[in-house]
């Protein structure tokens, strides 16, 4: 019997090495359900380098090419080119990288691949810091979060807006998602797969991380949903240039429908150092993001 109408096939095998409550592994499970068997993953240094398990076994049921940290977009370009040279057109090439490997060290190779209209799907699973190396600040770490490289004061800058950077590349598909809404994620990956032949498709998945965000591992789905319900993480897709809100975010344009950001922040130890002023700053940032969304929808 299927749940949420998702395929029963599993490509994340038991015995994989993810932490309990890992939002990234949960997301990858649904991503691969949408992609199916005829998929090649290119994975740079990130948590999934470990999650996949030790040689000579693999906890992932599709081929994986492990790659250097900053090179996902480029290595995937090579795989895509070889497929083209060999006349194979029924394989989906997917880059699967963390936020550090995407927003920081890997942004050049990704931008280059997107600009060249490389026909692949790039997915950033965003746990908002260098989690595999032990919770260091990345460009995607949110304002105020304590990390091991912002251990006392917390991060002083807001998160880099990676999906909009990719949207500026005028690629056929950009979407945001989060681990707590698997059906929404599944549909978006399906859509990205459908757009084969049109260039680079980009998905950005907010993936809660119990050890890094410092919360009880049973709360992953709750926190993922709260990120959306507070408006901190906005679910949308830009499909061939057309912007639309998706999932629960559709009804959150009205600020009164959004839960206060505290509800999300207070569950996580990484935000324990926030002052009232910091919380106001985060709320201001959220409201401003929504104003920008509103403007974008008006100009549509």
CB of 59 to other proteins, least distance (A): 9
Return the residue of 2, 55, 152, 254 that touches other proteins, per CB under 8 A.
55
User: Which residues, 6+ apart, have CB-to-CB distance to 101 below 8 Å?
Assistant: 44, 45, 46, 69, 70, 72, 124
- Binding span for other proteins by CB under 8 A among 105-113, 127-135, 164-172, 200-208: 105-113
Can residue 111 be called a binding residue for other proteins (CB under 8 A)? yes
CB of 92 to other proteins, least distance (A): 9
Compute the distance between CA of residue 86 and CA of residue 70 in angstroms, rounded to an integer. Answer: 26
CB of 109 to other proteins, least distance (A): 5
Classify 260 as helix, strand or coil.
coil
- Binding span for other proteins by CB under 8 A among 52-60, 128-136, 217-225, 258-266: 52-60
DSSP string, 192-241: HHHTTTS--EEEEEE---HHHHT--GGGHHHHHHHHHHTTSS--EEEETT
Can residue 108 be called a binding residue for other proteins (CB under 8 A)? yes
Return the residue of 16, 18, 39, 102 that touches other proteins, per CB under 8 A.
39
Q: State whether the Cα torsion 273-274-277-278 is positive or negative.
A: positive
Can residue 49 be called a binding residue for other proteins (CB under 8 A)? yes
CB of 14 to other proteins, least distance (A): 15
CB of 193 to other proteins, least distance (A): 14
Q: State whether the Cα torsion 112-71-120-28 is positive or negative.
A: negative
User: Which residues, 6+ apart, have CB-to-CB distance to 280 below 8 Å?
Assistant: none
Number of residues that bind other proteins (CB under 8 A): 47
Can residue 197 be called a binding residue for other proteins (CB under 8 A)? no
Compute the distance between CA of residue 81 and CA of residue 118 in angstroms, rounded to an integer. Answer: 9
Compute the distance between CA of residue 209 and CA of residue 214 in angstroms, rounded to an integer. Answer: 8
In the structure encoding, which two tokens stand for residue 152, read together? 């006392």
CB of 16 to other proteins, least distance (A): 11
Can residue 169 be called a binding residue for other proteins (CB under 8 A)? no
CB of 100 to other proteins, least distance (A): 16
CB of 141 to other proteins, least distance (A): 25
Classify 279 as helix, strand or coil.
helix
Return the residue of 4, 13, 38, 241 that touches other proteins, per CB under 8 A.
38
Compute the distance between CA of residue 231 and CA of residue 229 in angstroms, rounded to an integer. Answer: 5
Can residue 47 be called a binding residue for other proteins (CB under 8 A)? no
- Binding span for other proteins by CB under 8 A among 45-53, 195-203, 246-254, 276-284: 45-53
Compute the distance between CA of residue 210 and CA of residue 269 in angstroms, rounded to an integer. Answer: 10
Residue 265 backbone zone (phi > 0: left; psi -120 to 50: alpha; other: beta): alpha
Interaction mask 65-104, other proteins, x per CB under 8 A:
xxxx-xx-xxxxxxxxxxxxxx-x--x-------------
Can residue 133 be called a binding residue for other proteins (CB under 8 A)? no
Rank residues 88 and 266 by Cβ distance to other proteins and give the closer one: 88
Q: Would you tell me which residues interact with other proteins (CB under 8 A)? A: 37-40, 42, 49-50, 52-58, 60-68, 70-71, 73-86, 88, 91, 108-109, 111-112, 115-116
């Amino acid at each position: 019997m299927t749940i949420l109408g998702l395929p029963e096939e599993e490509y994340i095998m038991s015995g994989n090495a993810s932490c309990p409550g890992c939002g990234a592994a949960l997301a990858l499970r649904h991503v691969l359900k949408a992609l199916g068997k005829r998929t090649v993953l290119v994975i740079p240094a990130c948590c999934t380098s470990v999650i996949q398990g030790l040689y000579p076994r693999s906890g992932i049921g599709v081929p994986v090419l492990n790659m250097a940290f900053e090179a996902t977009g480029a290595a995937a370009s090579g795989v895509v080119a070889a497929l083209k040279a060999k006349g194979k057109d029924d394989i989906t090439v997917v880059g699967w990288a963390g936020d550090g490997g995407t927003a920081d060290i890997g942004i050049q190779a990704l931008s280059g691949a997107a600009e060249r209209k490389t026909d692949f799907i790039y997915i950033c699973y965003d746990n908002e810091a260098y989690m595999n190396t032990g919770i260091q600040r990345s460009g995607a770490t949110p304002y105020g979060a304590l990390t091991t490289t912002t251990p006392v004061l917390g991060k002083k800058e807001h998160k880099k807006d990676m999906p909009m950077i990719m949207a500026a590349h005028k690629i056929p598909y950009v979407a945001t998602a989060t681990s707590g809404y698997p059906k929404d994620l599944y549909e978006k990956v399906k859509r990205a797969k459908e757009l084969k032949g049109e260039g680079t498709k980009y998905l950005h998945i907010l993936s809660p991380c119990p050890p890094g965000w410092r919360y009880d591992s049973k709360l992953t789905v709750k926190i993922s949903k709260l990120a959306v319900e507070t408006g901190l993480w906005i679910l949308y897709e830009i499909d061939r240039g057309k912007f639309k809100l998706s999932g629960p975010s559709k009804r959150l344009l009205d600020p009164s429908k959004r839960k206060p950001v505290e509800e999300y922040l207070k569950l996580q130890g990484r935000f324990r150092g926030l002052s009232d002023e910091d919380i106001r700053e985060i709320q201001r940032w959220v409201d401003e993001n929504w104003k920008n969304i509103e403007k974008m929808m008006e100009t549509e």
